[in-house]
């Protein structure tokens, strides 16, 4: 089963509940730096929550010199193998959307993994009070 | 091992009395890890092939057919095979591990990692004489192997015997180094150090300029040399390594924001982008 996180920025009210949910899911004490989701203000009352788009031919995957980033074919999620990663930062610079992050306190590259291993269901969508972040279940046969 | 064709199917073997699943081609260490059985390691890293230099991952290996014979092997280099029986906590294993740590402690008495591992195995103090002017290097060679496979082979082991160390060609600033810091990040004991101030990074006696964002001029977390290296090695366009994370994120957010604006107005299609740009 493929989970797809659908983002509709027109519904975003800039409350940053997604950031909090993410930070508490992936960080020990909800440090803002642990959030893989960032809500950007792009105009008056206009916000865009930004997180990994799980690209098919991802720039991060292509730029990694040790192939530490791969797409899980079953879930269609792009994942970093931290044990293989050499922290060279190539992916952080290569992501054309600025969605690869480096957490200096834990010296780890982090990105949105759709909560793989943390409930396997995007926590941001669970906490979004509007319809901005929703999850679609996609069956294998439907077009990507 | 070579005489048996293992195919691709997973098989089972025994580790510490537990049946664990292993896959053809993987090492005992990987199978143990997946089963949640911890074996201490220092020189193992997934980005390179195992090398077996630290000797900390020693385990006892046997098979029912071996009639009681047990071998001491490095788990990181011993291929998993059906019907293997592995012991990771036997008296003999712990004895060897203590010896290794005792020796490492004599070599690197100041390494907090070695101190901790040794203490965990009941070695509070080395029984050998401590090396004069010790540093933090355990000579595992992981840095050299990472540099070789992910970068430019800028460093290697130099000199012989007691004088053996990790170094650069003729002890000078390494000409091939691209300042990627991979060696420093993988070193288990933190022997390799670097400094970063503003847009310069210093490692191995060399100073590197950091690549700058083409938009805002802020330093990127990679060096100029590293950017050209990655462009060539990963066969990517130079534009992949030319903008900072926040400029990229801002530009993307603006694009999405613009699309959302038109959706709110009930337009399913974005009006001519050129017109939009002209209005701004
Ligand atoms: S510098 Fe670090 S990684 Fe390199 S050989 Fe010494 S201990 Fe190992
Ligand atoms: S981890 Fe196996 S010898 Fe170092």
**DSSP for residue B41:** -
Q: Taking residues A89-106, what's their average pLDDT?
A: 94
Distance CA B86, CA B80 (A): 10
Most ligand 2 atoms within 8 A of CB, residue of B38, B39, B53 to mutate: B53
Whether A43 sits inside 8 A of B261 (CB atoms) is yes
Main-chain dihedrals φ then ψ at residue A54, nearest 5 degrees:
50, 55
Q: Which of B113, B174, B164, B167 is nearest to B143 (CA)?
A: B167
Distance CA B94, CA B88 (A): 8
Give the count of alpha carbons within 13 A of B38, CB side only: 3
Q: Taking residues A55-82, what's their average pLDDT?
A: 95
In this model, does residue B230 exceed pLDDT 80?
yes
Please give the structure tokens belonging to residue A83: 């044990």
pLDDT at B262: 87
Q: Taking residues A92-120, what's their average pLDDT?
A: 93
pLDDT in tens, A102-112: 988 888 999 99
CA distance readout (Å), A98 to A111, A129, B250: 10, 25, 8
Q: Taking residues A63-81, what's their average pLDDT?
A: 95
Give, using CA atoms, the residue closest to atom 3 of ligand 1. B187
pLDDT at A139: 80
pLDDT band at B2 (very low <50, low <70, confident <90, very high): very low
Residue of chain A whose Cα is closest to the Cα of B247: A98
Q: Taking residues A6-22, what's their average pLDDT?
A: 95
Output the CA angle B3-B8-B9, nearest 5 degrees: 100
pLDDT band at A32 (very low <50, low <70, confident <90, very high): confident
* CATH architecture label of B6-89: Roll (3.10)
In this model, does residue B76 exceed pLDDT 80?
yes
Give, using CA atoms, the residue closest to atom 3 of ligand 2. B52
The partner residue sitting opposite A65, judged by closest CB among B233, B246, B264, is B233
Neighbours of B214 (CB within 10 A): 14
> Average pLDDT of chain B?
93
Q: Taking residues B260-275, what's their average pLDDT?
A: 72
Among A127-141, B51-65, B159-173, B259-273, which is the least confidently predicted range? B259-273
Please give the structure tokens belonging to residue B268: 């399913």
Whether B222 sits inside 8 A of A95 (CB atoms) is no
For the CA of B57, the closest atom of ligand 2 is 2
Give the count of alpha carbons within 13 A of B260, CB side only: 22
In this model, does residue A72 exceed pLDDT 50?
yes
Output the CA angle B261-B265-A123, nearest 5 degrees: 50
pLDDT in tens, B113-147: 999 999 999 999 999 999 999 999 999 999 999 99
Is residue B231 a contact partner of residue B241, using CB atoms and an 8 Å limit? yes
pLDDT band at A41 (very low <50, low <70, confident <90, very high): very high
pLDDT at B269: 67
> Average pLDDT of chain A?
92
Which helix (DSSP H) or strand (DSSP E) does residue B279 occupy? helix B273-279
In this model, does residue A7 exceed pLDDT 50?
yes
In terms of residues, how long is chain B? 280
For chain B, what percent of residues have pLDDT higher than 90? 89
Q: Which of B36, B139, B116, B31 is nearest to B76 (CA)?
A: B31
Distance CA B198, CA B212 (A): 11
In this model, does residue B267 exceed pLDDT 90?
no
- Hey, where are the domains in chain B? 6-89, 142-235, 246-279
- What is the DSSP code string of B59-79? EEEE-GGGTT--EEEETTTSB
- What is the DSSP code string of B103-146? HHHHH-TT-HHHHHHHHHTT--S-SSPPPSS--S-----HHHHH
Is residue B139 a contact partner of residue B43, using CB atoms and an 8 Å limit? no
In this model, does residue A1 exceed pLDDT 90?
no
Neighbours of A105 (CB within 10 A): 10
pLDDT at A102: 94
What spacing in Å lies between the alpha carbon of A119 and ligand 2's midpoint? Answer: 34
Q: For chain A, which domains are there?
A: 1-51+121-138 (3.30.70.20), 55-111 (3.30.70.20)
Q: Taking residues B183-194, what's their average pLDDT?
A: 97
Distance CA B171, CA B205 (A): 9
pLDDT in tens, B19-73: 999 999 999 999 999 999 999 999 999 999 999 999 999 999 999 999 999 999 9
Q: Which of B1, B3, B5, B61 is nearest to B26 (CA)?
A: B1
Is residue B263 a contact partner of residue A10, using CB atoms and an 8 Å limit? yes
pLDDT at B58: 98
Is residue B150 a contact partner of residue B233, using CB atoms and an 8 Å limit? no
Please give the structure tokens belonging to residue A136: 């679609």
pLDDT at A141: 58
Query: How close is the nearest chain A Cα to the Cα of B265, in Å?
Result: 10
User: ipTM of this model?
Assistant: 0.90
Among A100-114, B81-95, B191-205, B257-271, which is the least confidently predicted range? B257-271
């Amino acid at each position: 089963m493929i989970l797809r996180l659908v983002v509709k920025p027109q519904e975003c009210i800039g409350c940053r509940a997604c950031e909090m949910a993410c930070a508490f899911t992936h960080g020990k004490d909800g440090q803002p730096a642990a959030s893989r989701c960032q809500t950007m203000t792009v105009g008056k009352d206009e916000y865009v929550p930004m997180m990994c788009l799980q690209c098919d031919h991802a720039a991060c995957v292509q730029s990694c010199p040790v192939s530490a980033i791969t797409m899980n074919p079953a879930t269609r999620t792009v994942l970093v193998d931290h044990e293989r990663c050499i922290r060279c930062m190539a992916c952080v610079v290569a992501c054309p959307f600025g969605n690869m992050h480096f957490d200096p306190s834990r010296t780890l590259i982090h990105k949105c993994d759709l909560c793989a291993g943390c409930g396997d269901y995007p926590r941001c969508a669970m906490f979004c009070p509007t319809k901005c972040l929703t999850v679609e279940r996609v069956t294998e046969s439907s077009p990507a | 091992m070579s005489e048996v064709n293992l195919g691709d199917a997973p098989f089972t073997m025994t580790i510490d009395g537990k049946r664990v699943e292993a896959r053809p081609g993987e090492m005992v260490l990987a199978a143990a890890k997946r089963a949640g059985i911890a074996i201490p390691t220092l020189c193992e890293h997934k980005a390179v092939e195992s090398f077996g230099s630290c000797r900390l991952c020693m385990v006892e290996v046997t098979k029912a057919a071996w009639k009681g014979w047990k071998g001491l092997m490095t788990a990181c280099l011993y291929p998993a095979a059906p019907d293997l029986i592995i012991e990771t906590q036997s008296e003999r294993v712990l004895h060897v591990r203590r010896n290794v740590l005792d020796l490492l402690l004599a070599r690197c008495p100041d390494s907090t990692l070695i101190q901790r591992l040794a203490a965990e195995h009941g070695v509070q103090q080395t029984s050998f004489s401590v090396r004069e002017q010790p540093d933090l290097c355990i000579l595992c060679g992981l840095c050299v192997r990472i540099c070789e496979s992910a970068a430019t082979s800028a460093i290697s082991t130099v000199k012989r015997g007691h004088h053996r160390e990790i170094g650069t060609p003729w002890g000078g600033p390494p000409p091939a180094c691209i300042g990627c810091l991979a060696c420093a990040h993988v070193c288990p004991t933190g022997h390799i150090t670097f400094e970063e101030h503003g847009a310069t990074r210093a490692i191995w006696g060399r100073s590197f300029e950091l690549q700058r964002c083409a938009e805002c001029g802020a330093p990127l977390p990679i060096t100029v040399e590293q950017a050209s290296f990655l462009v060539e090695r990963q066969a990517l366009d130079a534009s992949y390594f030319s903008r900072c994370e926040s400029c990229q994120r801002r530009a993307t957010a603006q694009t999405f924001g613009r699309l959302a604006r038109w959706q709110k107005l009930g337009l399913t299609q974005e009006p001519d982008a050129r017109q939009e740009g002209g209005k701004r």
